[in-house]
Chains A and B, each alone.
Chain A
Amino acid sequence: MACPILGPKCSAYYMIISVWGVVMLVLMGIFFQIRSPSLFEDINVDEEAWAKHNMNLEFVKSSYEDNAVNCWIAAVLYAVLFVFSFIQQRMNARQTYETS
């Protein structure tokens, strides 16, 4: 049997973080997708770049969409991390069960 890479505490930590990450980043992605005005300050738009694009609304829209996609990719990464740390957790549990 393969040895777990993460310890029991570390894997639990990553499990919690990744559950949080998945939930929050999926929601954030949705909010970016619907172009929430609260998140306007968070998107990658500075005045100069925007001015170059002639204060175009499309530029802002695409920036919102980029961020939404980023959020969802990060959410998928967290989902992967969750699966990984979950497996680690199980391995740890089995190991302690066997040793005790």
Chain B
Amino acid sequence: MDALLRSEEMTLCQMFLQSEAAYACVSELGEIGLVQFRDLNPDVNAFQRKFVNEIRRCEEMERKLRFLEKEINKDGIPMLNTGDNPEAPAPREMIDLEATYEKLENEMKEVNSNSEALKRNFLELTELKHILRKTQTFFEEAHHHQQALHDPSIAEERVGLLGEDPVSRSGQQKLGFVAGVILRERIPSFEVMLWRVCRGNVFLRQADIDSPLEDPITGDSVHKSVFIIFFQGEQLKSRIKKICEGYRATLYPCPETQAERREMAIGVMTRIEDLNTVLGQTQDHRHRVLVAAAKNIKVWSIKVRKIKAIYHTLNMFNLDVTQKCLIAECWCPVADLDRIQQALRSGTERSGSSVPSIINRMQTRMVPPTYNRCNKFTQGFQNIVDAYGVACYREVNPAPFTCITFPFLFAVMFGDMGHGLIMFLFALFLVLKEKQLQAKKIQNEIFSTFFGGRYIILLMGAFSVYTGLIYNDVFSKSLNLFGCQWVFPSSVGDYRLEALKGTDKILVKPNGTFTGSSYPIGIDPIWSLALNKIAFTNSLKMKISIILGIVQMFFGIALSYLNHRHFQKPLNIIFDFIPMVVFLFCMFGYLVLLIFVKWLKYSSTTAQEPPSLLIGLINMFLFNYGDSEDKMIYSGQQGFQSFLVVVAVLCVPWMMLGKPMYLRYMKRYGQKPAFQALHREEDEDEEVMFLNMSSPSPHHSPNGTATSSSDNEFKHQPLSVNSGDLMGSRYEEEVIHNPEVNGSLHTEEGVEDEHENFSEVLIHQVIHTIEFCLGCISHTASYLRLWALSLAHAQLSEVLWQMVLRIAFRFSRGWGAIGLFIIFQVWAALTVMILVLMEGLSAFLHALRLHWVEFQSKFYDGTGHMFVPFSFDHIADANPDE
């Protein structure tokens, strides 16, 4: 019980780890994940620490693994994730790992560079092949033109240029040509540039290569075109070459005669064949290497990250003078000290060290971290609470109560059986498929939010079904499950058939039509047909939300009593807790009582009589009773109400002035208030825990003498190792009051300062009082959001039904079914999106606010800090890039 209500009892421990055993011990501690190490060298920067080298090596290994992983991903090889969690390897295995990774990386790099070179070669050959093929057609065309060109009527320049080709070849000047390959998108500008620079004296032909080519460096597929340029003269040739260079075109030598070209084409084809086989072999080799690596890569990266985490932790340790042992300080739960010792022992055994590791509880005045043990069910609710603020150490933890109140308040706002059922089934799916979904490790953020809160959603859904039953709402329709309790006797005047035919609406008086026994559970379904349905449900829901709110606030105040008692603050009970309860009761607790009285006292026969509670409440504070003596609920109400108001008003100075006045009085006339002294005696006696009593460590032996030596000597001993029974209560005061001893070892963060003077206390108390009194009123009003949201939800779902689904029922006969088939889908999708998701989100947020502000402000401080144990858990399933 106490474990749920309050955070774990924590203790600060010192660990003495032999340097050779330290690694194994820390690794064992990481596996159990129960200790939080303190950084003992906060002033030392990261590069001056002891194990910098090892961390660097780990980072290097991580880099190699990342490289391998990237290569594996590039090839689309599935990485085997068996989900097993290897232990952190011993330090000497690190060298093996390093060697393995080094070898793999080098091999990969070699294979990559080889295949790149081969691919470049292959690309060139393919391009050449295409050039030869395409230019063939160019030359053939030219040949054709040769015959056609004897017709002088074609005076076009291009044709002329070509036409002169054979002439020039036979005659005075030879036409030169250059062939190459260029990216397809560069062709237009390339053409324009050539035209301008060469003043139209060149002739460009180009043809697209149909199949995309692979870029050897990036691996993208690119489209290229073959071009051939005819020109005249050396000067033009050099210009063209420059332009080609500028456009990153690749030029290939192309023989001039057809026979040579054919010969070359054949040569190229054979070389491509050869290259293909070689490339295939290279790919195979690469694939084999990667597949082998993919099998292990997850395990490897977990191993490396574990090693790194261990060295990182070791860096936080102090080295003792003899360099033989490392001193660590850590927070750990008292209940788990046995397991920690066990882990240390097995760590020592594993490392083969003969000297045991020692853990030793320390006395401290630092505020311990808050550690709430959670299972998968409570974790979600604990997260809700922690999102507001981490509880102070040993403060009452609202999470166990939130488990029920949160879904319940949500459901009050989300009351609809249909929507609740959808939510419940969705969460049930998540819960039942928990293992499979967890194994899938879906990274989608929205999904992981839902998945993390699956138990919350499950409860929210289930509770919504219940409140839906109470509100009698299924997709805004009512169910008549138990039989309506209103009957219309056809014999009575107003309800006779003839009378009914005459009117559209009738006024149903409860007197005479109501059977007297109410509908067994929830709202009578007849209300869904009534015109004043909203007026009725409003009054009911408002009352319910006030009742729930006041009860929850009382509960919060009651929890503050547990806090005061645990922290030994009797003054707070007398001057805070009691006036708070009285004040809240006099104002709103009384109202809740009146609500119940009103429900119980008036039956259907006297339905017209009861007075309005709201007006009554206002009048109560104005002492305005007028002549409405007959409107009273019980006799003597006036006097009692006036008494309550007076008491409530008296509570204010009680709360505001009581504590400061008492403290002032005690300071002046009495001794020091007892509670302050009590305050400090909570710290437990420290004790020594030997892992192995038979062979105490050399560092430890002097302590045996220290225990028997004088307290003076003890005070100056930085380790302050002692056993509680040896320390008489006489010395306790001294032990606690020697900050210079502990101060040298750790910074005094969060040490409470006890001296409070009168004005400070007074101001604090005044603020507190005003906050509470105003808060009482505003928080009660704030709980009305329960009503407002549930009204909004009911209305919205009704509107959706009327605007969408009703259309389907109004179709003419033949089309009705088809129309219903289509419109139902629309309605279902809208229901899920608007009513379940959006409304659910808003109800969730409001429930969250009610817990954070209205409930927790009554007792919760939330100024603690979280216990973050050193654990390998998150390493095993986290992303490498985190």
Contact = CB atoms under 8 A, between A and B. Distances in A.
B519 to A, nearest CB: 14
Contact of A70 (B78, B525, B817): B817
A25 B822 CA distance: 12
A38 B525 contact: yes
B613 interface: no
A78 interface: yes
B525 A71 contact: no
B817 A44 contact: no
A30 B744 CA distance: 81
Interface string A11-48: 00000010011001100000000001111111110000
Interface stretch (B442-450, B459-467, B694-702, B806-814): B806-814
A25 B810 CA distance: 16
B232 interface: no
Nearest to B802: A41
A74 B820 contact: yes
B825 interface: yes
A70 B828 contact: no
Contact of B806 (A42, A66, A74): A42
Interface in B778-837: 802, 805-806, 808-811, 813, 816-818, 820-821, 824-825, 828-829
A100 B478 CA distance: 50
A42 B805 CA distance: 9
Nearest to B426: A16
B528 interface: yes
B487 interface: no
A24 B832 CA distance: 15
Contact of B816 (A17, A37, A38, A70): A70
A20 B421 CA distance: 11
A70 B824 CA distance: 12
A70 B814 CA distance: 9
A67 to B, nearest CB: 5
Contacts of B817: 69-70, 73-74, 77
B821 A38 contact: no
B477 interface: yes
A50 to B, nearest CB: 12
Given A38-B529, A39-B477, A67 B824 contact: no
Contact of A38 (B478, B805, B809, B820): B478
A67 B501 contact: no
Contacts of B810: 44
A87 interface: no
A77 B78 CA distance: 41
A38 B529 CA distance: 7
Contacts of A38: 477-478, 480, 525, 528-529
B809 A70 contact: yes
Contacts of A55: 501
A25 B802 CA distance: 16
A8 to B, nearest CB: 14
Give chain B's interface secondary structure class.
helix
Nearest to A81: B821
Interface residues of B, number: 25
Contacts of B78: 100
A21 B477 contact: no
A21 B824 contact: yes
A84 to B, nearest CB: 13
A67 B477 contact: no
Contacts of A100: 78
Contacts of B480: 36, 38
A44 B816 CA distance: 10
A17 B828 CA distance: 7
Contacts of A42: 805-806, 809
Nearest to A80: B821
A71 B325 CA distance: 80
A85 B78 CA distance: 29
Interface string B277-313: 0000000000000000000000000000000000000
Given A38-B529, A66-B813, A70-B809, A25 B820 contact: yes
B809 A74 contact: no
Contacts of A40: 529
A36 B820 CA distance: 19
Nearest to A72: B817
Interface string B511-529: 0000000000000010011
A25 B827 CA distance: 13
The interface centre, meaning the residue of B480, B529, B824 with most chain A CB atoms within 10 A of its CB, is B824
Interface string A59-70: 000000011011
Contacts of B809: 42-44, 67, 70
A38 B477 CA distance: 7
A43 B818 CA distance: 16
B534 to A, nearest CB: 16
Contacts of B478: 38
Contact of A67 (B529, B802, B816, B818): B816
B816 A66 contact: yes
Contacts of A39: 477
Nearest to B814: A70
Contacts of A43: 809
A39 B809 CA distance: 10
10 closest A-B pairs by beta carbon, nearest first, are: A73-B817, A70-B816, A74-B820, A74-B821, A77-B821, A70-B817, A42-B809, A74-B817, A44-B810, A38-B477
29 contacts: A17-B829, A20-B828, A21-B824, A21-B825, A24-B824, A25-B824, A36-B480, A38-B477, A38-B478, A38-B480, A38-B525, A38-B529, A40-B529, A41-B806, A42-B805, A44-B810, A44-B811, A55-B501, A70-B808, A70-B816, A70-B820, A73-B816, A73-B817, A73-B820, A74-B818, A74-B820, A74-B821, A77-B817, A100-B78
Interface of A: 17, 20-21, 24-25, 36-44, 55, 66-67, 69-71, 73-74, 77-78, 100
Given A17-B828, A38-B525, A67-B809, 16 more contacts: A20-B828, A21-B821, A21-B825, A37-B529, A42-B805, A42-B809, A44-B810, A66-B813, A67-B816, A69-B817, A70-B816, A70-B820, A71-B820, A73-B817, A74-B820, A77-B817
